[in-house]
Amino acid sequence: MSFNNLDTLYRQVIMDHYKNPRNKGVLDDGNLTVDMNNPTCGDRIRLTLNVEAGIVKAAKFEGEGCSISMSSASMMTQAIKGKNIETALKLSKIFSDMMQGNEYDEDIDLGDIEALQGVSKFPARIKCATLAWKAMEKGLNATE
């Protein structure tokens, strides 16, 4: 697949998550809530998680912001559901490395999240992409 076709596919995946977000809303049975914002561009997020016995049983988000921040939140909530805290934090580290343009474990299937790797070329947008992930890290690190 050519670079242009891949770039177009990635844009479509990002826009699909933006227009049709997965896990949007607030968990009624959530036992962990984290609010974060990105004052640089006005993105804000409220992440609610239900963590039981070290497993992320459910994750939802609400907020407002650019297509990158909201689609990243959608992808992140999908990626961490059913994972243990250690795995969720490892995914966050891999995502952060990808955003910084650093090498990361490419053997791990990131699914739709890979569509965001092009954001690393735009330093001003990295904070948009990582907002939900930083909220997740903050919340899960507080449970340990």
pLDDT at 104: 86
Residue pLDDT, tens place only, 22-69? 999 999 999 999 999 998 889 999 999 999 999 999 999 999 999 999
Given a cut of 70, whether residue 3 has pLDDT beyond it is: no
Cα-to-chain-centroid distance, residue 96: 10
What is the pTM (predicted TM-score) of this model? Answer: 0.93
| Structural domain for 12, as ranges | 3-143
CATH number, domain of 24, equals 3.90.1010.10
The pair of three-digit structure tokens given for residue 65, joined into one six-digit string: 């912001």
Q: How many domains does the structure of the chain reveal?
A: 1
**Distance between CA atoms of 27 and 48, rounded to whole angstroms?**
6
- Max intra-chain CA distance, the chain: 45
Q: What is the dihedral of CA 98, 54, 111, 75, to 10 degrees?
A: -80
Residue 47 contacts residue 136 (beta carbons within 8 Å): yes
* Averaged pLDDT for residues 14-22: 97
pLDDT at 144: 65
Number of H helices, E strands in the chain: 4, 3
Residue 119 contacts residue 125 (beta carbons within 8 Å): yes
H or E element at residue 100: helix 85-100
Which residues lie across from 52 on neighbouring strands? 55
